[in-house]
Amino acid sequence: MYRILVINPGSTSTKLAIFENEDMILSETLRHSSDELSRYDTIFDQYEFRKGVIVDFLEKSGYSIHDFSAIVGRGGLLSPIPGGTYEVNTSMIDELKQAKYGEHASNLGAVLAYELARIAGIKSYIVDPVVVDELAEIARLSGHPELPRKSIFHALNQKAVARRAAAELGKNYEDANLIVVHMGGGISVGAHVKGKVVDVNNALDGDGPFTPERSGTLPLTQLIDLCFSGKYSKEWVMRRIKGNGGLVAYLGTNSAIEVQKRISEGDKKAEIVYRAMSYQIAKWIGKTAAAMRGDVDAIVLTGGLAYDERYMISWLKEYVSFIAPVFVYPGGDEEKALALGVLRVLRGQEKAKIYSKEAEKWQKIMSL
Ligand SMILES: Nc1ncnc2c1ncn2[C@@H]1O[C@H](COP(=O)(O)OP(=O)(O)O)[C@@H](O)[C@H]1O
Ligand SMILES: CCCC(=O)OP(=O)(O)O
């Protein structure tokens, strides 16, 4: 029997789980408020805080770090690579620590898994990191050659729930056309065409609907004016669009649970802002349906916000049900997908990929 520790750092949460083979025997989600996270200047500054959450979880549940066969973390901002299970290595860790490809909580997944695995003398892995890139050539153009579009999204959960939806439709994932919408701290809307995510908004960098903590796409020239007004630093502007944008900017909270409560108590501003977020998500779904020429088998809604049947899900259904049937998978399958990715490697069904080799191969293909 293999016992696997799963570490999933999100922008608003840390999710932990313990698997014995395919079975999840324990799990916990710790939610982090924007105030709590605003104490840290960089993602790496959160390392001790997030590690403390894991140590507490293990202590509470009576496990030691020596009880595991392997540790798997959510994969962060690396060079673009194909999907799969990767063994964590030092070149990956160096890039994540330096935030070479940007700052996001998922950068801590590999680092935490690696450091804890080192103590236990076992291996650590990541699966389908946020930089999985399957974009169609046409989707890479932004409107200016110096600013190509990038594939940064909830690849792990998008792929996992897309397979679940395809199975529900009686199809193989490789034969299905799906729009998958992950709604967490960030929001990504992916066009899954026959097993590949051929288009998706960059969920991290100012592209897409606004989210619990991000601004999404902003009016471009107004943003440029703000940046050059002389009043703000680059760091300040970055913070305003990532971490302090979206619900945090309008309502002072990254918690949709809190926003729902305010709406049910009659708070009109909370209702307008939350409705605007659903309206923007719906517009991205419509735009993605057009990119798929309307050939959509199902729309899949997932992530933390998909628990909100009363407002978010019912509003979205009003807007987009005309496109295709809507499946709702609240939360998602991230922890299971991480554990299964590692199990395939431990059982010898798949070889773990090597990060630098895959990144190099990808770069060669892209420069053809
Ligand atoms: N039961 C729920 N009802 C409504 N919103 C929820 C619920 N659970 C979580 N959320 C909201 O989902 C968002 C976080 O989603 P999640 O997928 O856990 O994000 P992340 O992994 O980015 O931290 C938060 O705004 C949180 O308040
Ligand atoms: C970096 C893209 C994935 C993302 O936005 O994750 P969170 O929802 O955890 O912030």
Distance from the Cα of residue 90 to its chain's centroid? 23
Does residue 308 have its Cβ closer than 6 Å to ligand 1? yes
| Same domain (yes/no): 105, 173 | no
Tokens of 48: 């001790």
Does residue 12 have its Cβ closer than 6 Å to ligand 1? yes
Q: From the alpha carbon of 186, which atom of ligand 1 is closest?
A: 22
Does residue 244 have its Cβ closer than 6 Å to ligand 1? no
| Same domain (yes/no): 271, 187 | yes
| Same domain (yes/no): 221, 290 | yes
| pLDDT higher than 70, residue 131 | yes
Query: What is the percent of the chain with per-residue pLDDT over 90, rounded to a whole number?
Result: 97
Which pLDDT band, with edges at 50, 70 and 90, does 122 fall under? very high
Q: From the alpha carbon of 10, which atom of ligand 2 is closest?
A: 9
| Same domain (yes/no): 196, 116 | no
- Residue with the smallest CA separation from ligand 2 atom 9 is 10
Does residue 141 have its Cβ closer than 6 Å to ligand 1? no
Whether the model clears a pTM of 0.90, i.e. scores above it, the answer is yes
| pLDDT higher than 70, residue 368 | no
| pLDDT higher than 90, residue 363 | no
- List, as one string, the DSSP characters of 150-191: ---S-HHHHHHHHHHHHHHTTS-GGG-EEEEEEESSSEEEEE
Return the pLDDT at 183: 98
Checking phi first, is residue 253 left (phi over 0); if not, alpha (psi -120 to 50) or beta? beta
Which pLDDT band, with edges at 50, 70 and 90, does 21 fall under? very high
**Ligand 2 center from residue 183 Cα (angstroms):** 9
**Ligand 1 center from residue 31 Cα (angstroms):** 8
> What are 332-342's pLDDT values in tens digits?
999 999 999 99
Instruction: Please state the ipTM of this predicted complex.
Output: 0.98
**Ligand 1 center from residue 310 Cα (angstroms):** 14
| Same domain (yes/no): 74, 190 | no
| Same domain (yes/no): 224, 359 | no
Return the pLDDT at 364: 84
| Same domain (yes/no): 40, 98 | yes
What's the number of domains the chain is made of? 2
Return the pLDDT at 207: 96
| Same domain (yes/no): 14, 162 | no
**Ligand 1 center from residue 248 Cα (angstroms):** 13
> What are 133-154's pLDDT values in tens digits?
999 999 999 999 999 999 999 9
**In which domain, by residue range, is 277 found?**
137-330
Query: In terms of Cα–Cα distance, which of 251, 9, 258, 250 is closest to 112?
Result: 9
| Same domain (yes/no): 324, 339 | no
CB neighbour list of residue 302: distance below 8 Å, 6 or more residues apart = 157, 158, 161, 180, 181, 182, 183, 328, 329, 330, 331, 332
3-state SS class at 196: strand
Average pLDDT over residues 349-360: 94
Return the sign of the alpha-carbon dihedral for residues 105, 111, 113, 119: negative
Length of the chain: 368
Q: What is each CA distance from 172 to 123, 209, 300, in whole angstroms?
A: 32, 29, 16
Tokens of 301: 């809604």
Does residue 186 have its Cβ closer than 6 Å to ligand 2? yes
Tokens of 244: 């302090």
Q: Please, what is the average pLDDT of the chain? A: 97
**Ligand 1 center from residue 10 Cα (angstroms):** 10
> What are 73-104's pLDDT values in tens digits?
999 999 999 999 999 999 999 999 999 999 99
Return the pLDDT at 313: 98
Select from 7, 153, 241 the residue to mutate for testing ligand 2; criterion: most ligand atoms less than 8 Å from CB: 153
Q: From the alpha carbon of 258, which atom of ligand 1 is closest?
A: 27
| Same domain (yes/no): 124, 228 | no
> What is the rounded CA–CA span in Å between residue 160 and residue 152?
16
The residue type of 178 is L
**Ligand 2 center from residue 252 Cα (angstroms):** 19
Q: Which residue has the higher pLDDT, 228 or 362?
A: 228
Return the pLDDT at 112: 98
Average pLDDT over residues 344-353: 97
| pLDDT higher than 70, residue 197 | yes
What φ, ψ does residue 212 adopt, rounded to 5°? -50, -30
Return the pLDDT at 203: 98
> What are 28-46's pLDDT values in tens digits?
999 999 999 989 999 999 9
- List, as one string, the DSSP characters of 23-65: EEEEEEEEE--HHHHTT-SSSGGGHHHHHHHHHHHHHHHT--G
Q: What is each CA distance from 19 to 24, 27, 53, 76, 176, in whole angstroms?
A: 4, 9, 18, 22, 29
CATH of the domain at 113: 3.30.420.40
Ligand closest to the CA atom of residue 106: 2
| Same domain (yes/no): 50, 124 | yes
Does residue 10 have its Cβ closer than 6 Å to ligand 2? yes
Does residue 130 have its Cβ closer than 6 Å to ligand 2? yes
| Same domain (yes/no): 160, 93 | no
Rg from Cα positions in the chain: 20
In DSSP terms, which residues pair with 85 in a beta bridge? 127
The residue type of 59 is E
Q: Are strands 3-9 and 70-74 parallel, antiparallel or unpaired?
A: parallel
Tokens of 335: 């922890």
Does residue 10 have its Cβ closer than 6 Å to ligand 1? yes
> What are 198-230's pLDDT values in tens digits?
999 999 999 999 999 999 999 999 999 999 999
Return the pLDDT at 224: 97
> What are 161-183's pLDDT values in tens digits?
999 999 999 999 999 999 999 99
